[in-house]
Amino acid sequence: MLDEKTKKKAFERIAAIVGADHITRHKTDQILNAHDAWPLSEAKLRAGEMLPLADLIVFPGTADEVSHVLIVANELKIPVTPVGGGAGTCGGTLPIYGGIQLDLKRLDKITEIDHTSMVVRVQAGVVGIDLEEEVNRYGYTTGHTPTSLRASNIGGFIATRSGGSMSSLYGKIEDLTLGLQVVLPTGSIIESKAVPRHSVGPDLRQLFIGSEGTLGIITEATLRLFPIPEERRFRSISFPDVHSGLEAIRKIFRVGILPSVVRLYDPEDAALSFSMHFEFEEGHCMLLLAFDGDLKKVDIDEKKSVQICLEEGGSDHGEGPSKRWWEHRYDMYYPSRLTTGGYAIGDTIDIVATYDKLENVYHAMKEVMEEEDAIVMSHFSHMYPNGGSIYMIFFTSQPDAETAWATYKRIWDAGVAACHREGGTMSHQHGVGLSRSTYIEDELGSSFNVLKTIKDALDPNGIMNPGKLGLGVRE
C-alpha cells in the first residue's frame, strides 16, 4: 500500500490526466478488484479473508493517457497492475503490492474492419463477445472463442496467450494477432506493423503476447478475420480408453484434417459431462469433434475422421454430445456447482505436450494429484498435429480453510512437478500470473534469465505487475 502522501500526490497528478471521475478509491471497488477468477482468490474472499487492495483504480480512455499515467507511476515508483476483463484464472490482476490498478475497459472501440485484407483493428478493452458479434454482422468470425468470451477483453486475451475452443483450426491468439500497440513501462508508445509475416529481426510482437502486463500495456491490436464457414458439423465418438481416443486424434491430424473442435473427455469427465444426457458405456471416454468449411470439405473431413475413429475402436454417437457441449459451452461455469461449498476448492492445470509425452503426463499428473486428496477429471482439448493440451481439473473438500489452502497447494505442486518430470509444459492458455509464478524457473530453466534481463531493460523501476510471471517479486 502507498503512504498517504504518495497516494494523494498520485491521485492529483493522475486526475489531471484521466479526470477525477475516472479514478476510484471506493472500498467496494477495491474489494471487487482484489480477486480475479483464480479459484484460490475467490475461495479466500468467500472464507472472509482480506486480500491486498489497490490504492487507486484508474480508467484511462486513450493510449496517450495510459502513457502519461505510466510516466507518473514510474516517477513515483508505484506498482501498476493492468486489468482487462478480470476473468483470468491465475491471479494476474491481483494488486499484491497495492498501487494502481489500470483498468482498460474504456479502450472499447473497434476502430476499423479491413475487408480486403480481412483484418480488424480493435482497442484492448473491447469485450470478446462484442468483437465477435460485430464482425459476425459482416460475415466474419475472429476464430477466437474462449469460454470466457463474455467476460474477458482483447487485451486480456493477448496478455495471457489465450486459446479459443476452435484453436485446432484457427489457432491461438498469438497466431491471430498481426499487429500490436503497446505502451512501455516508461511511457513510450510502440507499434508493431500489422503484416502477415516478416523478416525484420525477431518478432517483437510475440514478446508482448503472453507478457501478462509485466512488460507494458497493450492498448490496441490488429487481428485476423475468417469468413463464417458455410457449414459447422458436429460428431461424437466414445472410446474404451484414453489411449485409443488419443490415437484417433493423432491420426486424424496426420492425414491432414484440421477439425475446428477436438475434445477428448476421460472416463470421469465424460461421466460428469454427458452421462445425464446421453447413453454410452460406463468407463468410456467421449471425443467431441467439429468440422468447419464448405459442405463438400466438411463431408470429406467428417467421413474420414469417423472412419479413423472406428478403426481405433470408437463407437459413433452422432452429433448429440458434441452439439450439446457447443450449445452450452458458455454457461457451464456459471455458477460453478462444485467449488462454492464451505471449504471445497477446485482448479484446472491446463498443461500442453507433444503426442509422445501426452499420455504419460496425463497418467503421472492424475496419480500424484489423487494421492493429495483430489478428485481429478480431465479432457484433452486444443489439439494440434504435434500434440495438445490437457485440462487437469481437480476438486478437494476439506474441513477448514487452512487445510483446504494447504491441500490445494500440495495438489498444484505435485501436479506441476509430474508434468515437468514427464516433459510437459505447465500452461497452454491460462498463463502464469501469481498461481504458477513459483514454478516458472523450473519450467523455463536457464532461459528464465533472458526473461528477467528483458524485464529489467524495459521496466527499470519494476513497476509493471510485480510478482507475476515470477518477475519483480518483492520481499
Q: Which residues bind ligand FAD (CB under 6 A)?
A: 36-37, 81-89, 92-93, 104, 124, 146-148, 151-153, 155-157, 159-160, 162-163, 212-213, 217-218, 333, 429-431, 433, 465, 468
CB of 7 to ligand FAD, least distance (A): 21
Please report how the helices 401-421 and 355-371 are oriented relative to each other, as an axis angle in degrees rounded to 10.
150
Q: How far is the CB of 296 from ligand FAD (least distance, A)?
A: 30
d(CA 246, CA 238) in angstroms, rounded, equals: 12
CB of residue 381 to ligand FAD, shortest distance in Å: 9
Q: Cell digits for 340?
A: 462454492
How far apart CA 87 and CA 287 sit, in angstroms, is 27
For ligand FAD, the closer of residues 5 and 337 by Cβ is 337
Q: Name the residue nearer to ligand FAD (CB basis): 172 or 233.
A: 172
Assess whether the previous peptide bond of 95 is cis (omega < 30° from 0). Answer: no
CB of 113 to ligand FAD, least distance (A): 21
| Smallest gap from residue 85 Cβ to ligand FAD (A) | 3
In whole angstroms, what is the distance from residue 393 CA to residue 413 CA? 14
- Minimal distance, residue 281 CB to ligand FAD, in Å: 29
CB-CB contact of 41 with 94 (8 Å): yes
Closest distance to ligand FAD from the beta carbon of 172 (Å): 8
Nearer to ligand FAD by Cβ, of 37 and 365: the residue is 37
Report the distance separating Cα 400 and Cα 397, nearest Å.
9
Whose cell is 493440451? That residue is 389
3-state secondary structure 27-59: HHHHHHCCCCCCHHHHHHHHCCCCCCCCCEEEC
Reading the block at residue 227, the C-alpha cell is 469468413
> Which grid cell sits at 2?
502507498
Query: CA 110 to CA 105: how far, in whole Å?
Result: 13
| Least gap, CB of 216 to ligand FAD (angstroms) | 7
Distance CA 107, CA 24 (A): 17
Is the CB of 212 or the CB of 443 nearer to ligand FAD?
212
What's the CA dihedral at 459, 460, 461, 463 to 10 degrees? 10
Q: Which residue number has the CB closest to ligand FAD?
A: 156
Residue with cell 480408453: 241
Identity of the residue, 87 or 463, whose beta carbon is nearer to ligand FAD in the bound complex? 87
Location of C-alpha cell 516517477: 75
Cell of 376: 481429478
Choose between 96 and 104: whose C-beta lies nearer to ligand FAD.
Answer: 104
Tell me how far, at minimum, the Cβ of 435 lies from ligand FAD, in Å.
11
Spatial CA neighbour of 87 closest among 341, 409, 431: 431
- Closer Cβ to ligand FAD, 93 or 238, answer by number: 93
Closer residue to ligand FAD, CB minimum distance, 159 or 271: 159
Taking the CB of residue 333, how many other CB atoms lie within 10 A of it?
A: 14
Nearer to ligand FAD, 124 or 289 (CB): 124
